């Protein structure tokens, strides 16, 4: 989702010398393969949009993969970039790097001040090591390596697999499939995890891509920047918004035996705003665009295997 959005954004700005590989073409967990790729292609700028990602269920069930594979991916890219004298490196992380009970909104300086959210600490720890690696290179070698921490992302090419997806695409699929029920139609019941009370912020992926291009074209004074909208809503409000857009009219049941995750994750985006960038897409418009993309591609979805 993220890589394709950045690719489209770069093309729209007139960048033609783009180098990219799918995970099938280049296994970023393989250090030797990454080294050979850099020696052959000699990139000037590297944007790391690669990661093993998933929601609470996937993080809980596959902690080792989420920790180790993300470290392998980013460490191979960062180290190869340093050794190949790459001029600019943009590392994409996640808002989950911040402590579970950090003050809201989340400021960049809250990193490593307290304990993480247990349901995704494996992914968070991996991403924190990437942030610190880029910071270390910036400090030791004076290179323009920066880290952008997006809030929760959604949009075209999202993962709609109910076992591994994040909350927003999972809701889109659940409400859509319920509305298509041959028994009760749009009035079918939908069960969602948790209490619905946690608050979350969501960023349309094309806005993140725009932020990445902005960061690539400008020199930032610091190493870590939050990227988001600076606005949030409850999971219950999100569900009701998606339900309305999809056209589902049935009952929503909240399964409070399932985990909620972090109570709130709102990003302080003042540093990015001061640098000259701000998100453009409001949530309802972004969800409508995402649902339209879902409808056009739903026949091609496959269940993800880990």
Residue 145 annotated as catalytic:
no
106 is in an annotated binding site: no
152 is in an annotated binding site: yes
Query: Long-range pairs for 160-166 at CB < 8 Å and ≥24 separation?
Result: 160/294, 160/298, 160/301, 161/301, 161/302, 161/303, 161/304, 163/57, 163/58, 163/303, 163/304, 164/54, 164/55, 164/57, 164/58, 164/304, 164/306, 165/54, 165/55, 166/53, 166/54, 166/55
The Cα–Cα gap between 177 and 49 comes to 30
Q: Are 242 and 177 in contact (CB under 8 A)?
A: no
208 is in an annotated binding site: no
302 is in an annotated binding site: no
289 is in an annotated binding site: no
Nearest in space to 73 (alpha carbons), one of 9, 162, 11, 3: 3
193 is in an annotated binding site: yes
Q: Are 148 and 136 in contact (CB under 8 A)?
A: no
150 is in an annotated binding site: yes
Does an H or E element contain 191, and which?
Answer: strand 190-193
94 is in an annotated binding site: yes
Helix (H, G, I), strand (E, B) or coil at 217: helix
Structure tokens at 8: 């489209």
155 is in an annotated binding site: no
185 is in an annotated binding site: no
293 is in an annotated binding site: no
Residue tagged active-site, from 15, 98, 123, 225: 123
DSSP E strands, 72-127: 88-92
The Cα–Cα gap between 201 and 225 comes to 16
186 is in an annotated binding site: no
Q: Binding site: which residues? A: 92-95, 127, 150-153, 166, 174, 193, 200, 260
Q: Binding site for substrate: which residues? A: 174, 193, 200, 260
Please identify every residue annotated as catalytic: 123
Q: Binding site for NADP(+): which residues? A: 92-95, 127, 150-153, 166
């Amino acid at each position: 989702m993220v890589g394709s959005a950045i690719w489209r954004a770069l093309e729209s700005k007139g960048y033609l010398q783009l180098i990219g590989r799918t995970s099938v073409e280049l296994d970023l967990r393989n250090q030797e393969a990454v080294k050979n790729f850099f020696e052959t292609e000699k990139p000037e700028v590297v944007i790391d949009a690669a990661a093993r990602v998933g929601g609470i269920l996937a993080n809980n069930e596959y902690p080792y993969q989420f920790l180790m594979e993300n470290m392998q991916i980013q460490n191979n890219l960062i180290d190869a970039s340093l050794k190949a004298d790459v001029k600019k490196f943009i590392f994409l992380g996640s808002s989950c790097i911040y402590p579970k009970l950090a003050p809201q909104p989340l400021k960049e300086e809250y990193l490593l001040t307290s304990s993480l959210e247990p349901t995704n600490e494996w992914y968070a720890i991996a991403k924190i090591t990437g942030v610190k690696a880029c910071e270390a290179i910036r400090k030791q070698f004076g290179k323009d390596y920066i880290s952008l921490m997006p809030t929760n992302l959604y949009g075209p090419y999202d993962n709609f697999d109910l076992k591994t997806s994040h909350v927003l695409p999972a809701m889109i699929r659940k409400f859509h499939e319920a509305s298509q029920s041959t028994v009760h139609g749009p009035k079918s019941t939908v069960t969602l995890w948790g209490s619905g009370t946690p608050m979350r912020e969501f960023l349309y992926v094309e806005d993140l891509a725009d932020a990445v291009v902005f960061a690539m074209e400008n020199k930032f004074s610091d190493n870590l920047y939050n990227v988001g909208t600076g606005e949030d809503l409850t999971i219950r409000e999100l569900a009701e918004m998606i339900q309305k857009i999809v056209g589902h009219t049935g009952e929503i049941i909240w399964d409070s035996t399932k985990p909620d995750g972090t109570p709130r994750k709102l990003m302080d985006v003042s540093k990015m705003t001061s640098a000259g960038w701000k998100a453009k897409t409001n949530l309802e418009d972004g969800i409508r665009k995402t649902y339209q993309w879902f409808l056009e591609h739903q026949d091609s979805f496959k269940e993800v295997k880990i």
